[in-house]
Structure 1
Amino acid sequence: MACSYKVGHLKMVELRERARAQLGDRFDIRAFHDPVLGNGAIPLAVLEATVDDWIAATRAAPAG
Structure 2
Amino acid sequence: MKNADIRALSIEDLKTQIKTEQASGQSLRFAHAISPLENPIRLKQSRKNVARLLTELTRRENEQANNTAN
Please state which band the TM-score falls in when normalised by the shorter chain. Answer: 0.3 to 0.5
Give the structure-1-normalised TM-score. 0.41
Give the structure-2-normalised TM-score. 0.38
Structure number with bigger Rg? 2
